[in-house]
Structure 1
Amino acid sequence: MSLIERDKKVIWHPYTQMKDAQNPIPIVRGEGVYLYDENGNKYIDAVSSWWVTIHGHAHPYIAEKVSVQLKELEHVIFAGFTHEPAVRLAERLLPLLPGKQDKIFYSDNGSTAVEVALKMCLQYWNNKGNTQKKKVLAFKDAYHGDTFGAMSVSGRSIFTNPFNDLLFDVEFIDLPNADNILELQTKISQLQTEICCFIFEPLILGAGGMLMYEAKYLDELLKSCEENDILTIADEVMTGFGRTGTYFACEQLTHHPDIFCLSKGLTGGTMPMGVTSCNEKIFEAFLSDDKLKTLYHGHSFTANPVACAASLAS
Protein backbone atom coordinates (compact mmCIF):
# COMPACT_ATOMS: atom_id res chain seq x y z
CA MET A 1 0.00 0.00 0.00
CA SER A 2 1.43 3.40 -0.98
CA LEU A 3 1.90 6.29 1.44
CA ILE A 4 -0.97 8.15 -0.26
CA GLU A 5 -3.30 5.18 0.18
CA ARG A 6 -2.32 4.82 3.83
CA ASP A 7 -2.81 8.56 4.32
CA LYS A 8 -6.34 8.42 2.92
CA LYS A 9 -7.28 5.73 5.41
CA VAL A 10 -6.24 7.60 8.55
CA ILE A 11 -5.53 11.32 7.97
CA TRP A 12 -7.77 14.41 7.98
CA HIS A 13 -5.77 17.27 6.41
CA PRO A 14 -6.13 20.96 7.36
CA TYR A 15 -8.14 23.39 5.20
CA THR A 16 -9.11 20.49 2.93
CA GLN A 17 -12.46 19.26 1.63
CA MET A 18 -11.65 15.58 1.98
CA LYS A 19 -14.54 14.42 -0.23
CA ASP A 20 -12.87 15.45 -3.48
CA ALA A 21 -9.36 16.50 -2.45
CA GLN A 22 -6.47 15.84 -4.78
CA ASN A 23 -3.93 13.32 -3.59
CA PRO A 24 -1.42 14.88 -1.19
CA ILE A 25 2.18 14.96 -2.38
CA PRO A 26 4.12 12.32 -0.42
CA ILE A 27 7.23 14.11 0.85
CA VAL A 28 10.09 12.01 2.21
CA ARG A 29 12.80 14.60 2.86
CA GLY A 30 13.75 18.24 2.60
CA GLU A 31 16.99 20.09 1.97
CA GLY A 32 17.37 23.85 1.70
CA VAL A 33 14.52 25.30 -0.35
CA TYR A 34 13.63 21.90 -1.82
CA LEU A 35 11.23 19.12 -0.87
CA TYR A 36 11.58 15.62 -2.35
CA ASP A 37 8.78 13.10 -2.85
CA GLU A 38 8.99 9.32 -2.72
CA ASN A 39 9.63 9.18 -6.47
CA GLY A 40 12.58 11.55 -6.28
CA ASN A 41 10.74 14.56 -7.72
CA LYS A 42 12.00 17.91 -6.42
CA TYR A 43 9.75 20.84 -5.43
CA ILE A 44 10.61 24.41 -4.47
CA ASP A 45 8.96 25.13 -1.12
CA ALA A 46 7.93 28.63 -2.20
CA VAL A 47 5.64 29.17 0.80
CA SER A 48 8.28 28.02 3.31
CA SER A 49 5.79 25.41 4.55
CA TRP A 50 3.35 28.11 5.72
CA TRP A 51 6.09 30.73 6.29
CA VAL A 52 8.06 28.80 8.91
CA THR A 53 11.23 27.34 7.33
CA ILE A 54 13.11 30.62 7.09
CA HIS A 55 16.55 28.95 6.89
CA GLY A 56 15.53 26.08 4.63
CA HIS A 57 14.74 22.45 5.41
CA ALA A 58 16.95 20.17 7.51
CA HIS A 59 19.33 22.95 8.47
CA PRO A 60 22.38 21.15 9.93
CA TYR A 61 23.14 23.70 12.65
CA ILE A 62 19.59 23.71 14.03
CA ALA A 63 19.42 19.91 13.77
CA GLU A 64 22.66 19.60 15.73
CA LYS A 65 21.45 21.87 18.54
CA VAL A 66 18.12 20.05 18.74
CA SER A 67 19.94 16.70 18.92
CA VAL A 68 22.15 17.90 21.77
CA GLN A 69 19.16 19.22 23.72
CA LEU A 70 17.21 15.98 23.25
CA LYS A 71 19.99 14.11 25.02
CA GLU A 72 20.08 16.55 27.96
CA LEU A 73 16.47 17.53 28.72
CA GLU A 74 13.58 16.85 26.35
CA HIS A 75 10.81 18.37 28.50
CA VAL A 76 9.88 19.60 31.95
CA ILE A 77 6.75 21.23 33.32
CA PHE A 78 7.24 25.02 33.28
CA ALA A 79 5.04 25.86 36.28
CA GLY A 80 7.39 25.92 39.26
CA PHE A 81 10.41 24.91 37.17
CA THR A 82 12.73 26.64 34.73
CA HIS A 83 15.62 25.70 32.45
CA GLU A 84 18.53 27.28 30.62
CA PRO A 85 17.14 27.23 27.04
CA ALA A 86 13.93 29.06 28.06
CA VAL A 87 15.74 31.75 30.03
CA ARG A 88 18.43 32.22 27.40
CA LEU A 89 15.85 32.49 24.60
CA ALA A 90 13.94 35.18 26.51
CA GLU A 91 17.21 37.02 27.16
CA ARG A 92 17.98 36.91 23.44
CA LEU A 93 14.50 37.85 22.20
CA LEU A 94 13.57 40.75 24.45
CA PRO A 95 16.37 43.13 23.32
CA LEU A 96 15.50 42.42 19.67
CA LEU A 97 11.85 43.44 19.97
CA PRO A 98 10.96 47.06 19.13
CA GLY A 99 10.11 49.32 22.04
CA LYS A 100 10.58 48.11 25.58
CA GLN A 101 9.42 44.53 26.10
CA ASP A 102 10.11 43.01 29.50
CA LYS A 103 8.61 39.53 29.87
CA ILE A 104 8.13 36.41 27.73
CA PHE A 105 5.22 33.96 28.04
CA TYR A 106 5.69 30.74 26.08
CA SER A 107 3.05 28.68 24.28
CA ASP A 108 2.81 26.30 21.31
CA ASN A 109 1.95 28.17 18.09
CA GLY A 110 0.67 31.42 16.62
CA SER A 111 -2.95 30.92 17.61
CA THR A 112 -2.05 30.22 21.23
CA ALA A 113 0.30 33.21 21.29
CA VAL A 114 -2.69 35.34 20.26
CA GLU A 115 -4.94 33.70 22.87
CA VAL A 116 -2.42 34.56 25.59
CA ALA A 117 -2.19 38.17 24.38
CA LEU A 118 -5.97 38.60 24.38
CA LYS A 119 -6.27 37.11 27.87
CA MET A 120 -3.49 39.40 29.10
CA CYS A 121 -5.34 42.46 27.83
CA LEU A 122 -8.81 41.48 28.98
CA GLN A 123 -7.58 40.46 32.43
CA TYR A 124 -5.36 43.55 32.65
CA TRP A 125 -8.43 45.76 32.76
CA ASN A 126 -10.28 43.38 35.05
CA ASN A 127 -7.33 43.41 37.47
CA LYS A 128 -7.37 47.21 37.30
CA GLY A 129 -11.03 47.21 38.35
CA ASN A 130 -12.30 48.36 34.95
CA THR A 131 -14.96 45.91 33.81
CA GLN A 132 -16.24 48.12 30.97
CA LYS A 133 -13.30 47.59 28.61
CA LYS A 134 -14.24 44.25 27.08
CA LYS A 135 -14.34 44.88 23.34
CA VAL A 136 -11.42 44.25 20.97
CA LEU A 137 -10.52 46.39 17.96
CA ALA A 138 -9.23 44.55 14.86
CA PHE A 139 -8.98 44.83 11.08
CA LYS A 140 -11.94 43.35 9.25
CA ASP A 141 -9.76 41.29 6.87
CA ALA A 142 -7.40 40.07 9.59
CA TYR A 143 -6.43 36.48 10.26
CA HIS A 144 -5.03 35.66 13.71
CA GLY A 145 -5.57 31.90 13.99
CA ASP A 146 -8.13 29.14 14.36
CA THR A 147 -8.68 28.83 18.11
CA PHE A 148 -11.79 30.60 19.40
CA GLY A 149 -10.22 33.81 20.66
CA ALA A 150 -8.05 34.07 17.56
CA MET A 151 -11.07 33.41 15.33
CA SER A 152 -13.05 36.08 17.18
CA VAL A 153 -10.52 38.80 16.30
CA SER A 154 -10.18 37.57 12.71
CA GLY A 155 -12.36 38.84 9.91
CA ARG A 156 -15.54 36.88 9.36
CA SER A 157 -14.92 34.45 6.50
CA ILE A 158 -15.16 30.81 5.45
CA PHE A 159 -12.72 30.10 8.29
CA THR A 160 -15.19 31.36 10.90
CA ASN A 161 -18.68 30.95 9.36
CA PRO A 162 -19.81 27.82 11.28
CA PHE A 163 -18.80 29.48 14.56
CA ASN A 164 -19.77 33.15 14.12
CA ASP A 165 -22.58 33.00 16.69
CA LEU A 166 -20.13 31.72 19.30
CA LEU A 167 -17.39 34.33 18.79
CA PHE A 168 -17.05 37.31 21.12
CA ASP A 169 -17.86 40.86 20.08
CA VAL A 170 -15.19 42.69 18.08
CA GLU A 171 -15.14 46.16 16.55
CA PHE A 172 -13.78 45.68 13.04
CA ILE A 173 -12.22 48.55 11.09
CA ASP A 174 -10.82 49.02 7.59
CA LEU A 175 -7.10 49.18 6.92
CA PRO A 176 -5.93 52.77 7.45
CA ASN A 177 -5.12 55.05 4.53
CA ALA A 178 -5.03 58.75 3.68
CA ASP A 179 -8.77 58.87 3.06
CA ASN A 180 -10.03 57.19 6.24
CA ILE A 181 -7.39 57.76 8.93
CA LEU A 182 -9.24 60.65 10.60
CA GLU A 183 -12.48 58.67 10.61
CA LEU A 184 -10.74 55.69 12.23
CA GLN A 185 -9.12 57.90 14.85
CA THR A 186 -12.50 59.43 15.65
CA LYS A 187 -13.99 55.97 16.10
CA ILE A 188 -11.20 54.99 18.47
CA SER A 189 -11.83 58.10 20.53
CA GLN A 190 -15.58 57.46 20.64
CA LEU A 191 -15.13 53.84 21.75
CA GLN A 192 -12.32 54.39 24.24
CA THR A 193 -14.40 53.37 27.26
CA GLU A 194 -15.32 50.03 25.63
CA ILE A 195 -12.13 48.99 23.81
CA CYS A 196 -9.62 47.02 25.85
CA CYS A 197 -7.09 46.44 23.07
CA PHE A 198 -6.27 46.76 19.39
CA ILE A 199 -4.76 43.69 17.69
CA PHE A 200 -3.14 44.03 14.28
CA GLU A 201 -0.84 42.39 11.76
CA PRO A 202 1.70 45.15 11.06
CA LEU A 203 2.10 46.38 7.47
CA ILE A 204 0.60 43.32 5.77
CA LEU A 205 -2.39 41.06 6.36
CA GLY A 206 -1.19 37.58 5.44
CA ALA A 207 -3.92 34.96 5.13
CA GLY A 208 -6.47 37.75 4.66
CA GLY A 209 -5.13 38.29 1.15
CA MET A 210 -1.62 39.77 1.40
CA LEU A 211 -3.15 43.21 1.93
CA MET A 212 -0.52 45.90 2.49
CA TYR A 213 -0.84 49.27 4.17
CA GLU A 214 1.56 52.03 5.12
CA ALA A 215 3.44 52.21 8.41
CA LYS A 216 2.65 55.91 8.89
CA TYR A 217 -1.08 55.22 9.12
CA LEU A 218 -0.60 52.33 11.53
CA ASP A 219 1.50 54.71 13.60
CA GLU A 220 -1.42 57.12 13.71
CA LEU A 221 -3.72 54.36 14.97
CA LEU A 222 -1.23 53.35 17.65
CA LYS A 223 -0.88 56.97 18.72
CA SER A 224 -4.66 57.22 19.06
CA CYS A 225 -4.72 54.02 21.11
CA GLU A 226 -2.07 55.40 23.45
CA GLU A 227 -4.00 58.66 23.86
CA ASN A 228 -7.22 56.77 24.60
CA ASP A 229 -5.77 54.21 27.01
CA ILE A 230 -6.19 51.23 24.68
CA LEU A 231 -3.64 48.40 24.83
CA THR A 232 -2.03 47.25 21.58
CA ILE A 233 -1.05 43.79 20.33
CA ALA A 234 1.25 43.26 17.34
CA ASP A 235 0.64 39.88 15.75
CA GLU A 236 4.05 39.30 14.16
CA VAL A 237 3.52 35.57 13.80
CA MET A 238 3.82 35.91 10.03
CA THR A 239 5.73 39.21 9.67
CA GLY A 240 8.42 38.53 12.26
CA PHE A 241 12.00 37.42 11.64
CA GLY A 242 12.72 39.37 8.48
CA ARG A 243 9.57 38.96 6.40
CA THR A 244 9.06 42.71 5.80
CA GLY A 245 12.63 43.91 5.29
CA THR A 246 13.33 44.52 8.99
CA TYR A 247 13.75 41.90 11.69
CA PHE A 248 10.30 42.80 12.97
CA ALA A 249 7.73 44.81 11.03
CA CYS A 250 7.15 47.08 14.03
CA GLU A 251 10.72 48.36 13.71
CA GLN A 252 9.30 50.54 10.93
CA LEU A 253 7.01 52.32 13.43
CA THR A 254 7.65 55.14 15.87
CA HIS A 255 4.92 53.96 18.26
CA HIS A 256 5.34 50.47 19.65
CA PRO A 257 2.82 47.91 20.94
CA ASP A 258 2.38 46.69 24.49
CA ILE A 259 2.42 43.05 23.40
CA PHE A 260 3.99 40.98 20.62
CA CYS A 261 2.87 37.56 19.33
CA LEU A 262 5.55 35.42 17.65
CA SER A 263 5.74 31.93 16.17
CA LYS A 264 6.31 30.47 12.65
CA GLY A 265 9.92 31.40 11.83
CA LEU A 266 10.91 31.44 15.51
CA THR A 267 12.28 27.88 15.42
CA GLY A 268 13.14 27.96 11.73
CA GLY A 269 10.30 25.52 11.13
CA THR A 270 11.92 22.83 13.25
CA MET A 271 9.56 22.66 16.24
CA PRO A 272 6.18 24.14 17.26
CA MET A 273 6.67 27.22 19.42
CA GLY A 274 4.76 30.35 20.37
CA VAL A 275 5.83 33.47 22.24
CA THR A 276 3.81 36.32 23.74
CA SER A 277 5.92 39.18 25.06
CA CYS A 278 4.69 42.13 27.09
CA ASN A 279 5.94 45.33 28.67
CA GLU A 280 6.28 45.97 32.39
CA LYS A 281 2.95 47.82 32.55
CA ILE A 282 1.07 44.67 31.54
CA PHE A 283 3.08 42.38 33.81
CA GLU A 284 2.70 44.55 36.91
CA ALA A 285 -1.10 44.46 36.67
CA PHE A 286 -0.94 40.74 37.51
CA LEU A 287 1.27 41.12 40.60
CA SER A 288 -0.97 40.90 43.65
CA ASP A 289 -1.65 39.15 46.93
CA ASP A 290 -5.03 38.38 45.40
CA LYS A 291 -4.60 35.01 43.66
CA LEU A 292 -7.54 35.81 41.38
CA LYS A 293 -5.29 38.34 39.62
CA THR A 294 -2.95 35.55 38.48
CA LEU A 295 -2.76 34.77 34.76
CA TYR A 296 -4.10 31.22 34.93
CA HIS A 297 -2.92 30.04 31.55
CA GLY A 298 -0.47 27.37 30.41
CA HIS A 299 0.13 24.45 28.08
CA SER A 300 1.61 21.00 28.56
CA PHE A 301 4.49 21.89 26.26
CA THR A 302 5.01 25.47 27.45
CA ALA A 303 8.69 26.43 27.00
CA ASN A 304 9.63 22.98 25.73
CA PRO A 305 13.45 22.84 26.02
CA VAL A 306 13.91 21.30 22.57
CA ALA A 307 11.76 24.00 20.94
CA CYS A 308 13.70 26.65 22.87
CA ALA A 309 16.98 25.14 21.66
CA ALA A 310 15.71 25.19 18.07
CA SER A 311 14.68 28.83 18.49
CA LEU A 312 18.09 29.78 19.85
CA ALA A 313 19.77 28.02 16.94
CA SER A 314 17.46 29.71 14.44
Structure 2
Amino acid sequence: MKKTRIILLLPIFLLLLGVGCHKDPTPDSFTSDQSGTSLTSYTSGTTESSDPYISEDLTPYWVTFVTDTEATLERVHTGVIREMPVVDNPGFTLVGWYLEASFINIVSFPYYVKEDVTLYAKWSKGEISQFTYNYSDDLGGYIVTSYGGNAVNVVIPSTYKEKPIVAIGQQLFYRNGAIEAVSLPATIKVIEMQAFKDATSLLEIRLPSSVVEVGTDAFAGASSLKTAILSSNLEVIGNNAFEGTNLTSVIIPAMVKEINYQAFAAIPTLNSVTLEALTPPLRFHSSFEGANASLKYYVHGQVLNDYKTSPYWQDYASLIFAKA
Protein backbone atom coordinates (compact mmCIF):
# COMPACT_ATOMS: atom_id res chain seq x y z
CA MET A 1 0.00 0.00 0.00
CA LYS A 2 2.86 2.41 0.70
CA LYS A 3 4.14 2.04 -2.87
CA THR A 4 0.66 2.77 -4.21
CA ARG A 5 0.43 6.00 -2.19
CA ILE A 6 3.82 7.17 -3.47
CA ILE A 7 2.81 6.56 -7.08
CA LEU A 8 -0.49 8.40 -6.64
CA LEU A 9 1.13 11.39 -4.96
CA LEU A 10 3.95 11.72 -7.51
CA PRO A 11 1.88 13.56 -10.21
CA ILE A 12 0.66 16.04 -7.57
CA PHE A 13 4.25 16.68 -6.47
CA LEU A 14 5.39 17.27 -10.06
CA LEU A 15 2.48 19.64 -10.68
CA LEU A 16 3.39 21.69 -7.62
CA LEU A 17 7.03 21.69 -8.70
CA GLY A 18 6.05 23.08 -12.12
CA VAL A 19 4.05 25.89 -10.53
CA GLY A 20 6.97 26.78 -8.31
CA CYS A 21 9.33 26.93 -11.28
CA HIS A 22 7.17 29.36 -13.33
CA LYS A 23 9.19 32.22 -14.85
CA ASP A 24 8.14 35.64 -16.07
CA PRO A 25 8.21 36.23 -19.84
CA THR A 26 11.62 36.96 -21.26
CA PRO A 27 12.23 40.10 -23.36
CA ASP A 28 11.82 37.98 -26.51
CA SER A 29 8.34 36.72 -25.63
CA PHE A 30 4.80 38.04 -26.01
CA THR A 31 2.05 38.60 -23.47
CA SER A 32 -1.53 38.14 -24.55
CA ASP A 33 -5.03 38.75 -23.33
CA GLN A 34 -7.63 36.00 -23.17
CA SER A 35 -8.49 36.38 -26.85
CA GLY A 36 -4.94 35.52 -27.84
CA THR A 37 -4.20 38.93 -29.38
CA SER A 38 -0.61 40.03 -28.87
CA LEU A 39 -0.51 43.03 -26.55
CA THR A 40 3.20 43.63 -26.04
CA SER A 41 6.27 42.57 -27.94
CA TYR A 42 9.83 43.10 -26.84
CA THR A 43 12.39 43.73 -29.51
CA SER A 44 16.04 44.63 -29.65
CA GLY A 45 15.60 48.28 -28.90
CA THR A 46 13.49 49.11 -31.97
CA THR A 47 10.46 51.31 -31.39
CA GLU A 48 7.83 51.46 -34.11
CA SER A 49 5.87 54.69 -34.44
CA SER A 50 2.13 54.71 -35.10
CA ASP A 51 2.87 57.08 -37.98
CA PRO A 52 3.28 54.90 -41.13
CA TYR A 53 5.92 57.26 -42.52
CA ILE A 54 8.21 57.08 -39.51
CA SER A 55 10.53 54.45 -38.12
CA GLU A 56 12.92 55.02 -35.23
CA ASP A 57 15.34 52.17 -35.88
CA LEU A 58 18.10 54.53 -37.10
CA THR A 59 19.83 57.56 -35.61
CA PRO A 60 17.09 60.21 -35.62
CA TYR A 61 17.31 63.74 -36.98
CA TRP A 62 14.74 66.51 -37.34
CA VAL A 63 12.85 66.65 -40.65
CA THR A 64 10.81 69.79 -41.36
CA PHE A 65 8.24 69.97 -44.16
CA VAL A 66 7.43 73.11 -46.13
CA THR A 67 4.13 72.21 -47.81
CA ASP A 68 3.45 75.53 -49.58
CA THR A 69 -0.26 75.09 -48.95
CA GLU A 70 -2.75 75.58 -46.12
CA ALA A 71 -2.38 71.97 -45.00
CA THR A 72 0.75 71.39 -42.95
CA LEU A 73 2.84 68.49 -41.73
CA GLU A 74 4.44 68.51 -38.31
CA ARG A 75 8.18 68.07 -38.22
CA VAL A 76 9.37 64.61 -37.22
CA HIS A 77 12.38 63.14 -35.45
CA THR A 78 13.46 60.02 -37.35
CA GLY A 79 16.25 58.21 -39.16
CA VAL A 80 14.21 57.19 -42.21
CA ILE A 81 10.99 58.20 -43.95
CA ARG A 82 9.85 55.00 -45.62
CA GLU A 83 7.04 56.35 -47.81
CA MET A 84 6.40 59.70 -49.43
CA PRO A 85 4.38 61.97 -47.11
CA VAL A 86 1.18 63.16 -48.76
CA VAL A 87 -0.83 66.30 -48.12
CA ASP A 88 -4.01 67.63 -49.73
CA ASN A 89 -3.93 70.70 -51.95
CA PRO A 90 -7.17 70.92 -53.99
CA GLY A 91 -6.56 71.68 -57.65
CA PHE A 92 -2.92 70.63 -57.52
CA THR A 93 -0.89 67.44 -57.50
CA LEU A 94 2.24 66.84 -55.47
CA VAL A 95 5.16 66.47 -57.87
CA GLY A 96 7.52 65.48 -55.07
CA TRP A 97 9.66 66.64 -52.16
CA TYR A 98 12.90 68.51 -52.77
CA LEU A 99 15.95 69.37 -50.69
CA GLU A 100 15.88 72.99 -51.81
CA ALA A 101 13.23 75.66 -52.14
CA SER A 102 14.43 76.07 -55.74
CA PHE A 103 13.49 72.41 -56.46
CA ILE A 104 16.85 71.12 -57.68
CA ASN A 105 17.27 67.71 -56.01
CA ILE A 106 14.17 65.56 -55.65
CA VAL A 107 13.96 63.14 -52.72
CA SER A 108 13.45 59.42 -53.33
CA PHE A 109 11.70 57.28 -50.74
CA PRO A 110 12.60 55.54 -48.53
CA TYR A 111 14.66 58.57 -47.55
CA TYR A 112 17.44 57.95 -45.03
CA VAL A 113 18.02 61.05 -42.95
CA LYS A 114 21.67 61.89 -42.32
CA GLU A 115 21.23 65.33 -40.73
CA ASP A 116 18.57 67.84 -39.78
CA VAL A 117 16.85 68.71 -43.04
CA THR A 118 13.98 70.69 -44.54
CA LEU A 119 11.95 69.17 -47.39
CA TYR A 120 10.02 71.38 -49.82
CA ALA A 121 6.84 70.30 -51.60
CA LYS A 122 6.55 71.06 -55.31
CA TRP A 123 3.08 71.27 -56.82
CA SER A 124 1.73 71.15 -60.35
CA LYS A 125 -1.57 72.72 -61.37
CA GLY A 126 -3.88 70.99 -63.79
CA GLU A 127 -7.15 69.19 -64.37
CA ILE A 128 -7.74 66.56 -61.70
CA SER A 129 -11.50 66.30 -61.31
CA GLN A 130 -12.64 63.79 -63.94
CA PHE A 131 -11.25 60.53 -62.59
CA THR A 132 -12.72 57.47 -60.93
CA TYR A 133 -10.84 55.18 -58.57
CA ASN A 134 -10.74 51.66 -57.17
CA TYR A 135 -8.95 50.76 -53.96
CA SER A 136 -6.21 48.10 -54.12
CA ASP A 137 -5.36 46.19 -50.96
CA ASP A 138 -2.24 44.78 -52.63
CA LEU A 139 -0.87 48.22 -53.52
CA GLY A 140 -2.16 49.99 -50.43
CA GLY A 141 -3.92 52.82 -52.24
CA TYR A 142 -6.17 53.84 -55.11
CA ILE A 143 -5.84 52.96 -58.80
CA VAL A 144 -7.06 55.58 -61.26
CA THR A 145 -9.49 53.55 -63.36
CA SER A 146 -11.14 56.02 -65.74
CA TYR A 147 -10.80 59.54 -67.09
CA GLY A 148 -13.61 61.58 -68.59
CA GLY A 149 -11.77 64.70 -69.70
CA ASN A 150 -10.12 65.88 -72.88
CA ALA A 151 -7.38 68.15 -71.53
CA VAL A 152 -3.98 68.68 -73.12
CA ASN A 153 -2.18 68.84 -69.78
CA VAL A 154 -3.45 66.35 -67.20
CA VAL A 155 -2.45 66.16 -63.55
CA ILE A 156 -2.96 62.94 -61.60
CA PRO A 157 -3.77 63.73 -57.95
CA SER A 158 -1.58 62.30 -55.22
CA THR A 159 -4.41 61.32 -52.87
CA TYR A 160 -8.06 60.31 -52.84
CA LYS A 161 -10.06 60.04 -49.64
CA GLU A 162 -6.82 60.64 -47.73
CA LYS A 163 -5.18 57.57 -49.33
CA PRO A 164 -2.36 57.66 -51.90
CA ILE A 165 -2.90 57.20 -55.62
CA VAL A 166 -0.68 54.21 -56.42
CA ALA A 167 -1.36 53.13 -60.00
CA ILE A 168 -2.38 54.36 -63.43
CA GLY A 169 -5.06 51.87 -64.38
CA GLN A 170 -5.45 49.77 -67.50
CA GLN A 171 -6.30 51.75 -70.64
CA LEU A 172 -6.73 54.96 -68.65
CA PHE A 173 -5.62 57.12 -71.60
CA TYR A 174 -6.03 54.48 -74.32
CA ARG A 175 -6.41 56.16 -77.73
CA ASN A 176 -6.59 59.57 -76.09
CA GLY A 177 -5.48 61.90 -78.87
CA ALA A 178 -5.62 65.10 -76.83
CA ILE A 179 -3.19 64.55 -73.98
CA GLU A 180 0.29 65.98 -74.58
CA ALA A 181 1.62 66.04 -71.03
CA VAL A 182 0.79 64.31 -67.77
CA SER A 183 2.07 64.97 -64.27
CA LEU A 184 2.36 61.86 -62.13
CA PRO A 185 2.55 62.13 -58.34
CA ALA A 186 5.40 60.58 -56.40
CA THR A 187 3.01 57.99 -54.96
CA ILE A 188 2.56 56.02 -58.21
CA LYS A 189 3.98 52.48 -58.10
CA VAL A 190 2.66 50.87 -61.29
CA ILE A 191 1.76 51.97 -64.81
CA GLU A 192 -0.70 49.27 -65.78
CA MET A 193 -1.37 47.55 -69.11
CA GLN A 194 -2.14 49.86 -72.06
CA ALA A 195 -2.42 52.87 -69.75
CA PHE A 196 -1.19 55.27 -72.48
CA LYS A 197 -1.47 52.98 -75.50
CA ASP A 198 -2.01 54.92 -78.73
CA ALA A 199 -2.03 58.26 -76.91
CA THR A 200 -0.62 59.72 -80.10
CA SER A 201 -0.12 63.31 -78.90
CA LEU A 202 1.83 62.47 -75.73
CA LEU A 203 5.25 64.12 -76.01
CA GLU A 204 7.03 63.29 -72.77
CA ILE A 205 6.70 61.08 -69.71
CA ARG A 206 8.60 61.38 -66.44
CA LEU A 207 8.11 58.47 -64.08
CA PRO A 208 8.58 59.38 -60.40
CA SER A 209 11.02 57.33 -58.35
CA SER A 210 8.14 55.45 -56.73
CA VAL A 211 7.32 53.56 -59.96
CA VAL A 212 8.58 49.95 -59.94
CA GLU A 213 6.77 48.48 -62.94
CA VAL A 214 5.69 49.59 -66.41
CA GLY A 215 3.10 47.14 -67.70
CA THR A 216 2.49 45.51 -71.07
CA ASP A 217 1.75 47.99 -73.89
CA ALA A 218 1.81 50.84 -71.36
CA PHE A 219 3.04 53.43 -73.89
CA ALA A 220 2.87 51.36 -77.08
CA GLY A 221 1.82 53.36 -80.09
CA ALA A 222 2.36 56.72 -78.38
CA SER A 223 3.97 57.80 -81.62
CA SER A 224 4.87 61.36 -80.57
CA LEU A 225 6.62 60.30 -77.36
CA LYS A 226 10.18 61.60 -77.69
CA THR A 227 11.31 61.62 -74.06
CA ALA A 228 10.88 58.99 -71.35
CA ILE A 229 12.60 59.57 -68.02
CA LEU A 230 12.35 56.26 -66.18
CA SER A 231 12.06 55.78 -62.43
CA SER A 232 15.28 55.17 -60.51
CA ASN A 233 13.48 52.31 -58.72
CA LEU A 234 11.97 50.74 -61.84
CA GLU A 235 12.38 46.95 -61.87
CA VAL A 236 10.24 45.61 -64.73
CA ILE A 237 9.63 46.97 -68.23
CA GLY A 238 6.75 44.96 -69.65
CA ASN A 239 6.13 43.46 -73.07
CA ASN A 240 5.79 46.11 -75.81
CA ALA A 241 5.89 48.82 -73.13
CA PHE A 242 7.37 51.52 -75.40
CA GLU A 243 6.90 49.88 -78.79
CA GLY A 244 6.27 52.29 -81.64
CA THR A 245 7.21 55.46 -79.77
CA ASN A 246 9.55 58.16 -81.07
CA LEU A 247 12.39 57.87 -78.55
CA THR A 248 15.93 58.68 -79.67
CA SER A 249 17.66 57.56 -76.48
CA VAL A 250 16.76 55.99 -73.17
CA ILE A 251 18.50 55.38 -69.85
CA ILE A 252 17.60 52.05 -68.25
CA PRO A 253 17.94 52.54 -64.47
CA ALA A 254 20.13 50.36 -62.27
CA MET A 255 17.25 48.53 -60.57
CA VAL A 256 15.76 47.16 -63.79
CA LYS A 257 15.83 43.36 -63.86
CA GLU A 258 13.66 42.67 -66.93
CA ILE A 259 13.40 44.33 -70.34
CA ASN A 260 10.68 42.17 -71.76
CA TYR A 261 9.50 41.08 -75.20
CA GLN A 262 9.50 43.96 -77.73
CA ALA A 263 9.70 46.48 -74.89
CA PHE A 264 11.43 49.02 -77.19
CA ALA A 265 10.59 47.46 -80.55
CA ALA A 266 9.73 49.32 -83.75
CA ILE A 267 11.49 52.55 -82.78
CA PRO A 268 13.68 53.43 -85.78
CA THR A 269 14.70 56.69 -84.11
CA LEU A 270 16.25 54.90 -81.11
CA ASN A 271 20.04 55.02 -81.42
CA SER A 272 21.33 55.06 -77.82
CA VAL A 273 20.53 52.90 -74.78
CA THR A 274 22.39 53.43 -71.50
CA LEU A 275 22.21 50.59 -68.99
CA GLU A 276 22.99 51.58 -65.41
CA ALA A 277 22.71 48.08 -63.90
CA LEU A 278 25.92 46.38 -62.83
CA THR A 279 24.26 43.00 -63.38
CA PRO A 280 23.01 42.57 -66.95
CA PRO A 281 19.21 42.53 -66.91
CA LEU A 282 17.12 39.99 -68.76
CA ARG A 283 16.36 40.90 -72.36
CA PHE A 284 14.91 39.13 -75.38
CA HIS A 285 16.16 39.19 -78.97
CA SER A 286 13.09 41.24 -79.77
CA SER A 287 13.40 43.71 -76.88
CA PHE A 288 14.93 46.34 -79.19
CA GLU A 289 13.81 44.84 -82.49
CA GLY A 290 13.37 47.42 -85.22
CA ALA A 291 15.50 50.10 -83.56
CA ASN A 292 17.93 52.26 -85.50
CA ALA A 293 20.55 50.20 -87.34
CA SER A 294 23.27 52.17 -85.55
CA LEU A 295 21.85 51.53 -82.07
CA LYS A 296 24.55 51.33 -79.40
CA TYR A 297 24.40 50.17 -75.80
CA TYR A 298 26.45 51.92 -73.11
CA VAL A 299 27.35 50.33 -69.76
CA HIS A 300 29.73 50.99 -66.88
CA GLY A 301 33.30 50.14 -67.83
CA GLN A 302 33.85 47.69 -64.98
CA VAL A 303 31.01 45.46 -66.22
CA LEU A 304 31.61 45.79 -69.96
CA ASN A 305 32.83 42.21 -70.25
CA ASP A 306 29.94 40.96 -68.11
CA TYR A 307 27.49 42.36 -70.63
CA LYS A 308 29.43 41.13 -73.65
CA THR A 309 29.47 37.57 -72.27
CA SER A 310 25.99 37.54 -70.72
CA PRO A 311 23.67 34.97 -72.33
CA TYR A 312 21.11 37.76 -72.69
CA TRP A 313 23.49 40.23 -74.36
CA GLN A 314 26.33 38.29 -76.00
CA ASP A 315 24.70 38.40 -79.45
CA TYR A 316 25.03 42.18 -79.30
CA ALA A 317 28.60 42.31 -77.94
CA SER A 318 29.86 44.38 -80.87
CA LEU A 319 27.26 47.06 -80.08
CA ILE A 320 28.09 47.36 -76.36
CA PHE A 321 30.51 50.07 -75.24
CA ALA A 322 31.81 51.53 -71.99
CA LYS A 323 30.01 54.74 -71.12
CA ALA A 324 32.11 57.87 -70.85
Q: TM-score, normalised by structure 2?
A: 0.27
Structure with the bigger percentage of helix: 1
The higher relative CO (CA closer than 8 Å, separation ≥ 6) is in 1
Question: For the pair shown, which has the larger CA radius of gyration, 1 or 2?
Answer: 2
TM-score for both structures, normalised by structure 1? 0.28
Q: From the two aligned structures, give the one with the greater strand fraction.
A: 2
